[in-house]
Chains A and B, each alone.
Chain A
Amino acid sequence: MPEILVRAGGQAGDGIASIGETLAKSFARMGLHLFGLNAYQSVIRGGHVWFQARASPERVYSQGDGCDVLYALDANTAEVHLPTLRQGGVVVYDPEKFKIDPARIPVGATALEVPTLALARKYTPQSILQNAAGMGALAYLSGIPLPLFQQAISDSFGRKKGEVVDWNVQCAADGYAHAKANGSPNLHAASPAGEPKLLMTGNQAIALGAAAAGCKFLAQYPMTPASTIMHWMAAHSREAGVVVKQAEDELAAIHMAIGASYGGVRAMTATSGGGFSLMVEALGMAGMCEIPLVVVESQRAGPSTGLPTKTEQGDLALMLGAGQGEFPRAILAPSHPVEAYHAAIQAFALAEAWQTPVLLASDLHLSESYATVDRSEIDLNVPVPSLYLNPTNGSAGEYLRYRYTETGVSPRSLPGQRGLQWIAASDEHDEKGHLISDVRSGIPLWVEERSKMMRKRMHKLEGLALDSAPPVREGPEAADLTFVAWGSTIGAVRDAREILRGKGKATNLVHFPTVYPVHVPQTLALLEPAKRTLLVEANYSGQLGRLLRTETGLVFPNRLLKYDGEPFYPMEIVARALEVLRGG
């Protein structure tokens, strides 16, 4: 599969994210598929940050391995990333800033000196313009047409006009010309491949999907890597008709969302593990009061503050067990922005239909990485039925909010609806919503009532299982190795499978768009015939494996578990797979 990997690195504050975004957008506009990894640290200035754009005419699911064109803004970047240059690779740098020892350049790779500072000085003494020159050189080496690249640069300034924008556009042309005069395009350089594609992060896809699903209220407290859901929604609040509330803490955020849902709108909150830990008690309240709620849990490496800008899938056990007592919930785990868009829509549909909290599990790697989506994969015209129903309750004329039904779902009225008043009670309650927790507790009639109410709520789990997406097998039915994975990890597994196919190894992948409730018969049908499995998870203890073992009895002796905060790279999965195939 033809692909090009372009990487830029420097210090926080050097503008690396902006370089990466411009590159990524350019590839997407060329009609190429892209995966963009933004690797950063929990600092605002200094340190080391880098961006990798991997582009191909075929869909790519991860950042890939190595790089073809490297733009080093500082000596540290050269130091760290030179060894990743592939055959034919080239490093772009400005010798006025630092020198590269030729011995450090891998065999088969070259260096291209670009006087970025000098080129920038033609326009302004401000050194930040050097990036435009460096990017121009990158564009040439990567096969991005200059006019398209200049447009992307100019668009990155939004509606801003004036000399700064012009300088950037012209300086990019200078860098492009310099590279053309002194180098040649990389052997993997891209060529235009058709209709432009949409470029979005997982979080943007989640926010867009939520709006499409009819979400009208989002309450959130800033926390990496969930914050950009709030940023996108706030920027489009008016147009999408969504009230966005930055709450005083996560306790408030989830309670506001629950209140809004009770009040008659589809509502969501989003956070990472730390914030989710604070939301746990409220989650149970939504389950107990049977209030639809969508909670996005974008995981980062824990425990505690952990690695705030690094990824992990360490919160599955938390999501499964969050809240005292037992109540029904679903956990959806998309792996790619296009899946995230649809998962958000499904999360709202499930929450609404089953009147219970639905967790949308993401992680830093999905939430903040960029990927391309075809316009045809996104349908904004999602039917959003009104929440105002006429929940008549039969002949008695007395409205029972928690009436016992076959499915466990009872007719829900909204405040403002006449004659249908009810109390949402976090205490155990009867069909009307009145407490059976105080003067009625322990009385035989109400002891039985409590059991009935528990069964009514927990029965919804069966409906959730029927209504949610079953596990999926990708690849041939017969395979020597079956990967088992969930969430963002699936991306690198997909790419690893491609590499293994090239090596003549038949593998397949079973993954879980709905992590919970576990679809037991479907899981058994897919995994029981597997010759050997390899469980791949970004956590220490194999939390999905543990869940599947609990629910199905299946065991996963072969594992690739990673908890260093870094995303999976296809080649490390390939290496482990070959080991397992050899019987290791």
Chain B
Amino acid sequence: MADSASATVAPTGPPLRMVVGKSDVKPTWCPGCGDYGVIAAVEMSLKKLQIPVEEVVLVSGIGCSSNLPHFLNSYGFHGIHGRSIPVAEGIRWANHGLHVIVTGGDGDGFGIGAGHFIHAMRRNVKLTYIVMDNQIYGLTTGQASPTSMMGHKTKSTPDGVIENPIDPIALALAAGATYVARGFSGDVKHMAELVANGIQHKGFAFIDALSPCVTYNKLNTFDWFRQRIYKLESAGHDPSNLGKAYERSLEWGEKIPIGLFYRAERPTYEDLEEVLEAGPLAKQPAGIAGKETLLDDFR
């Protein structure tokens, strides 16, 4: 963390470095919600990595899961629906000493925000993106989402969904994400490991977190998943093989793989942006005093 923002800042708070923990706000999720497993995994992974609390920024959009930043005590940005990723990119580029973790739901990320999702992956911005995927719109009381399965009856599709769901894993692989994983909020330890590795990954890390909605999705329940999931690492999957990762990404039904699908090394956007070579932008001098040659174009 040598290049973190805190290095040049006069300490104003407690002298000891604190890691991320719970805030004084209690989660507002329904009892039994899958998101409790996800927040536990996020907290666990940050504790494991011992990242100082002031160097973490949790960014989210709108939806039940997007309330997450309030429940931990790091910096946070709880913005508007579907736009968490560009906010997070801006934060990263302003200060790439920070750990920027984006959390949200499937509607936020794969519906209204799908465009940003794709572009952030092709850029390989160093972000950790955790989508609490419950295949339903919860906060708006149960409409179909981009990952709702064919035939799923919801308030907006009383006769069942008639469009194919998005496959987030295949989409991420196609868009060029360099870390693609799926966790299940019924297995917090496993998910915490995926999140911790994602935070340490040099590039865009995407974690599709299967996070059942106990109130509005009576189809894709904890039990439904428990009967189907298996771990890629136990199945001998090679996460360096993009072709195999695609194959596994298509599995959804009787068997649903969780774990790491794919990981690759590629320069990040921040690596390739020349202006950032001089260190985090927020700590570089601002203004153009004395830079008379900037006027050459005008002479």
Contact = CB atoms under 8 A, between A and B. Distances in A.
Given A198-B298, A265-B281, A421 B74 contact: yes
A263 B282 contact: yes
A425 B80 CA distance: 9
Nearest to B7: A416
A13 B288 CA distance: 36
A267 B92 CA distance: 13
B235 interface: no
Nearest to A415: B75
A214 interface: yes
A216 B286 contact: yes
A236 B274 contact: no
Interface string A201-238: 00010001001111111010000000000001001111
Contacts of A433: 76
Contacts of A237: 274-275
A418 B290 contact: no
A259 B89 contact: yes
Interface stretch (B52-60, B103-111, B149-157, B181-189): B52-60
A392 B10 CA distance: 12
A260 interface: yes
Contacts of A198: 295, 298-299
Contacts of B97: 416
Interface in B1-44: 4-6, 8-14, 17, 25, 28
A265 B94 contact: yes
A381 B289 contact: yes
A196 B28 contact: no
B115 interface: yes
B70 interface: yes
Interface in A178-218: 196, 198-200, 204, 208, 211-217
Interface string A246-259: 01110111011111
B86 interface: yes
Given A239-B293, A382-B287, A388-B9, A263 B54 contact: no
Interface stretch (A49-57, A138-146, A303-311, A434-442): A434-442
B231 interface: no
Query: Which of B25, B93, B285 neighbours the largest number of chain A CB atoms within 10 Å of its CB?
Result: B93
Contacts of B275: 237-238, 241-243
A419 to B, nearest CB: 1
A568 to B, nearest CB: 25
Contacts of B62: 426
A404 B297 CA distance: 47
B291 A240 contact: yes
Query: Which of A199, A235, A421 neighbours the largest number of chain B CB atoms within 10 Å of its CB?
Result: A421
Contact of B5 (A217, A258, A264): A264
A256 B54 contact: no
A217 B80 contact: no
B77 interface: yes
Query: Which of A259, A380, A425, A427 neighbours the largest number of chain B CB atoms within 10 Å of its CB?
Result: A259
Interface string A411-422: 000111111111
Interface in B72-96: 73-80, 83, 85-95
A387 B59 CA distance: 21
Contacts of A318: none
B295 A387 contact: no
Contacts of B79: 255, 258, 285, 289, 424, 426
* Residues of B in contact with A, size category: 35 or more
Contacts of B293: 239
B54 A418 contact: yes
B201 interface: no
B286 to A, nearest CB: 3
B119 A427 contact: no
Contacts of B4: 416
A239 B54 contact: no
Contact of B90 (A196, A258, A439): A258
A216 B70 contact: no
A266 interface: yes
A243 B77 contact: no
A420 B12 contact: yes
B83 to A, nearest CB: 5
Contact of B54 (A216, A375, A419): A419
Contacts of B69: 423
Interface in B241-299: 273-276, 278, 281-282, 284-295, 297-299
A520 interface: no
Contacts of B83: 251-252, 255, 282
B98 to A, nearest CB: 5
A208 B281 CA distance: 18
A285 B80 contact: yes
B65 interface: no
Contacts of A261: 90, 94
A420 B86 CA distance: 24
B116 A212 contact: no
A373 B299 CA distance: 10
B288 A262 contact: no
Given A417-B5, A425-B70, A241 B94 contact: no
B87 A239 contact: no
B211 interface: no
Given A259-B89, A434-B70, A243 B6 contact: no
B295 A267 contact: no
B76 A265 contact: no
B67 interface: yes
A241 B57 CA distance: 24
Given A281-B80, A415-B5, A424-B79, A256 B90 contact: yes
Given A263-B92, A289-B77, 11 more contacts: A208-B295, A211-B287, A216-B286, A241-B284, A243-B273, A251-B86, A260-B93, A262-B94, A384-B285, A419-B11, A426-B62
Interface of A: 29, 196, 198-200, 204, 208, 211-217, 219, 232, 235-243, 245, 247-249, 251-253, 255-267, 281-282, 285, 289, 373, 375, 378, 380-384, 386-388, 390, 392, 414-427, 433-435, 438-439
27 contacts: A196-B299, A198-B295, A204-B297, A239-B291, A243-B273, A261-B90, A262-B90, A263-B93, A263-B95, A289-B77, A373-B298, A380-B289, A380-B290, A388-B282, A392-B12, A415-B98, A416-B55, A416-B95, A416-B97, A418-B52, A420-B13, A421-B76, A422-B76, A423-B76, A424-B78, A424-B79, A439-B28
The 6 tightest CB contacts between A and B, nearest first, are A419-B13, A416-B5, A259-B90, A263-B94, A264-B282, A214-B286
